[in-house]
Amino acid sequence: MAGPMRRNMPFVKNTAKKGTLKRLLKMLLTSYKFYITAIVVCIILSAIGSSISSTFLKNIASSIENNDWQSFIRVIIIMICVYIVAVIANFFQARLGATVVQTLLRDIRVKLFDKMQTLPIKYFDTHTHGDIMSIYTNDTDALRQLISQSIPQIFTTVLTITVMLFIMLYYSVWLTLIVILNVFLMFFLTKKIGKNSAKFFKSQQQSLGKTEGYIEETMHGQKVVKVFTREEKCKEEFDALNNQLCSDSTKAHVFANIMGPVMNNLGHLLYVLLAVIGTVLAISSVPNLSLSGEKLGLPIIIAFLPMSKQFTHNISNIANQINSIFMGLAGANRIFTLLDEESETDEGYVTLVNAKYDEFGNLTESQEKTGIWAWKHPHKKDGTITYTLLKGDIVMEEVDFGYNKEKIVLKNVSLYAKAGQRVAFVGATGAGKTTVTNLINRFYDIADGKIRYDGININKIKKADLRRSLGIVLQDTNLFTGTVMENIRYGRLDATDEECIEAAKLANAHDFITRLPEGYDTLLTGDGANLSQGQRQLLSISRAAVKNAPVMILDEATSSIDTRTELLVQKGTDMLMNGRTVFVIAHRLSTVMNSDVIMVLDKGEIIERGSHDELIAKKGKYYQLYTGAFELE
């Protein structure tokens, strides 16, 4: 569907959830405990190496001041060894970190995809595909930056700051107090600026999802956009979304980018203050409060200046990582929101099994394929199991349904489709024709009433087994990347090549397939973009044919096929429908004339039912539709 037609669809929630970081860390620690432990050890070694570098300056200055060249050489050797250890630790941290991050992202993508397979159709009807794709791309990338850069850097920085604080207190309490006061000022500014930054980064992630969703759907619907000359309107709507994204991103990055310069300038100011105040304290002979007991002098001041710079630089690092942290947490929040979506519920316990008749004529379960299918129905009360032959007998009794409680789509719908009957639904757009078939598939559950399949309430049948017994051809054809043969076999994965070819012949698709460059081995991409709409629909019918289900749903299956092709398909579908219960939704009344029962729906209610001749004789709504007195669409 084109973007302009779905722009008001709701998007994935982006409300901040408490505990997102805690949940993320728990996931890391649970699955990658060994790697995380090794990374932490490497970070500690690296942090210690970078923290004590300033103490070497102090010892070097003292050695030179005292002409102690032996101590000077010893300090140089120790310093080289420490740096070598730090470099090795950094190397292994990077290697292990990359392994953890990429493995985690792989696992998250698997979980997202697996979760997506369990979600009900309603989820995809109410969320744009582009916004869902944004979770797989933008949000996982933001999470990657959070785990690979922000969290390790924050941990390293905090550890470095802690070690350096003890070192500074060891040499001079007075100079350390000056540094701490400066840090408090930094934290105050970070909190003020970061509060606004977090709010706008959340908005940015949501706006990004909306914009990408609109782009994806507009690309998918380019033919619709062009045929209705909606290019300018699309540009206006895209500009509105893009401008909102620009506004949210600008606000987020303005606040985030302010932090760096502010923190750097405060660091420079601290550097000057320490040099001046330290010199004054040393000259004035003020007692130096320190754990070392050393007098405040030039060696300590020389060591303190780079220490203060390194200390404030690490504080700045925390501030600079805040934007990545908020982006990563916003992305993680959207990922967890999708993972926490309620899966499609299935309380069914009746299953579909291969069956055979024993010597007494009783239906029993078979471990081999027999061509006979039965419903295996365990009875909870007495523990017995009964087998009911799969025939395709479907009954709807006084069914009510609404996509939400406020709007009821179907009202008091009852129908009786005996095995082998053809039941057709006709009516204006929005009358509820497709909704009826969606209820048989249990894509949606009814609000009231009952639907029975071979006498069994479909709520008792496992959804996967229910859908295995149904073949469906939709108006919107979906083909997958793969060969023509693989797309036909999608209907039944254990089908042989010969069965797929027979199904194609049944649907009258064999002729055009053999004229393709590689025949059945022709590779289809882009939803079968290299085929005509009619050819794509013929493959869809072939896919339903190879499934060989006892119940078939044809939802306007020939709507995209020209009249000449329709005549070819009609013969194939007649053979396909032979002996099966078939529900037909058609916009051409000529395709439903030979149905056993025709249901005329209007505003969610069945207002007429009967054969073609019976309904023509009534001269009601069907008669008006057939004679053109009332338009079907």
Is 204 among the domain residues?
yes
Q: Which residue pairs, CB below 8 angstroms and at least 24 apart, start in 488-493?
A: 488/520, 488/539, 488/542, 488/543, 488/546, 489/546, 490/543, 491/542, 491/543, 491/544, 491/545, 491/546, 491/547, 492/546, 492/547, 492/548
Q: What is the mean pLDDT of residues 431-440?
A: 84
Is 38 among the domain residues?
yes
Q: Where are the alpha helices (DSSP H) in 285-380?
A: 298-339
Is 429 among the domain residues?
yes
Do the Cβ atoms of 411 and 420 come closer than 8 Å?
Answer: no
CB atoms within 10 A of CB 139: 28
Please state, rounded to an integer, the average pLDDT across all residues of the chain. 80
Is 632 among the domain residues?
no
For the chain, the helix, strand and coil percentages under 3-state DSSP, each to the nearest 5: 60, 15, 25
Report helix, strand or coil for 471.
Answer: strand
Do the Cβ atoms of 323 and 341 come closer than 8 Å?
Answer: no
Q: What is the mean pLDDT of residues 537-565?
A: 78
Name beta bridge partners: 373. 354
CA 245, 248, 250, 256 dihedral sign is: negative
* CATH number of the domain bearing residue 302: 1.20.1560.10
Same domain, 432 and 317: no
Distance CA 491, CA 544 (A): 6
Asked if pLDDT for residue 498 goes beyond 90, the answer is: yes
Same domain, 384 and 429: no
Name beta bridge partners: 583. 423, 553
Is 12 among the domain residues?
no
CA angle 598, 600, 606 (to 5 degrees): 110
* CATH number of the domain bearing residue 542: 3.40.50.300
Is 181 among the domain residues?
yes
The total of structural domains in the chain comes to 3
Please give the model's pTM, rounded to 2 decimal places. Answer: 0.69
Q: Among 388, 414, 447, where does a domain finish? A: 388
**Phi, psi at 397, each rounded to 5°:** -120, 110
Q: How many CA atoms lie within 13 A of 230 on its CB side?
A: 16
pLDDT value, residue 584: 85
Distance CA 83, CA 51 (A): 11
Categorize the per-residue pLDDT at 572 as very low, low, confident or very high, splitting at 50, 70 and 90. low
Q: List, for residues 450-488, the tens digit of each pLDDT value.
A: 999 999 999 999 998 998 888 888 777 788 888 999 999
Q: Is residue 523 within a helix (H) or strand (E), and if so which, with residue range?
A: strand 523-524
Same domain, 537 and 499: yes
The per-residue b/e assignment along 325-361, b for 16 or more CB within 10 angstroms, e otherwise, is bbbbbbbbbbbbbbeebeeeeeebebbbbebbeeeee
Same domain, 545 and 482: yes
Same domain, 294 and 427: no
Same domain, 463 and 504: yes
Return the higher-pLDDT residue of 329 and 316: 329
Distance CA 95, CA 101 (A): 10
Is 13 among the domain residues?
no
Give the closest residue to 593 by CA, choosing from 563, 561, 625, 633: 625
Name beta bridge partners: 471. 552
CA 35, 37, 39, 45 dihedral sign is: negative
Categorize the per-residue pLDDT at 325 as very low, low, confident or very high, splitting at 50, 70 and 90. confident
Do the Cβ atoms of 409 and 403 come closer than 8 Å?
Answer: yes
Asked if pLDDT for residue 15 goes beyond 60, the answer is: no
Return the higher-pLDDT residue of 499 and 205: 499
Same domain, 303 and 208: yes
Same domain, 307 and 452: no
Do the Cβ atoms of 287 and 295 come closer than 8 Å?
Answer: no
Tokens found for residue 369: 């394929």
Categorize the per-residue pLDDT at 562 as very low, low, confident or very high, splitting at 50, 70 and 90. low
Name beta bridge partners: 364. 356
Do the Cβ atoms of 385 and 377 come closer than 8 Å?
Answer: yes
Same domain, 60 and 193: yes
Query: Which domain, by its residues, includes 470?
Result: 394-627
Q: List, for residues 379-401, the tens digit of each pLDDT value.
A: 888 888 999 998 888 899 999 98
> For the chain, what is the largest distance between any 2 Cα atoms, rounded to a whole number of angstroms?
120
**CA 153 and chain centroid, separation:** 28
Distance CA 301, CA 286 (A): 14
CA angle 7, 12, 13 (to 5 degrees): 120
Give the closest residue to 39 by CA, choosing from 84, 105, 91: 91
Same domain, 101 and 211: yes
Query: What is the residue type of 415?
Result: L
Is 345 among the domain residues?
no
Same domain, 230 and 364: no
Do the Cβ atoms of 550 and 392 come closer than 8 Å?
Answer: yes
Q: List, for residues 158-210, the tens digit of each pLDDT value.
A: 888 888 888 788 777 888 888 888 777 777 776 666 666 666 777 777 788 78
Distance CA 153, CA 159 (A): 10
Do the Cβ atoms of 428 and 466 come closer than 8 Å?
Answer: no
CA angle 471, 476, 481 (to 5 degrees): 85
Which range is most confident: 74-88, 290-304, 568-582? 74-88
Same domain, 361 and 430: no
Give the closest residue to 12 by CA, choosing from 111, 105, 117, 136: 136
Asked if pLDDT for residue 216 goes beyond 70, the answer is: yes
Burial of 5 (0-12, 13-18, 19+ CB in 10 A): middle
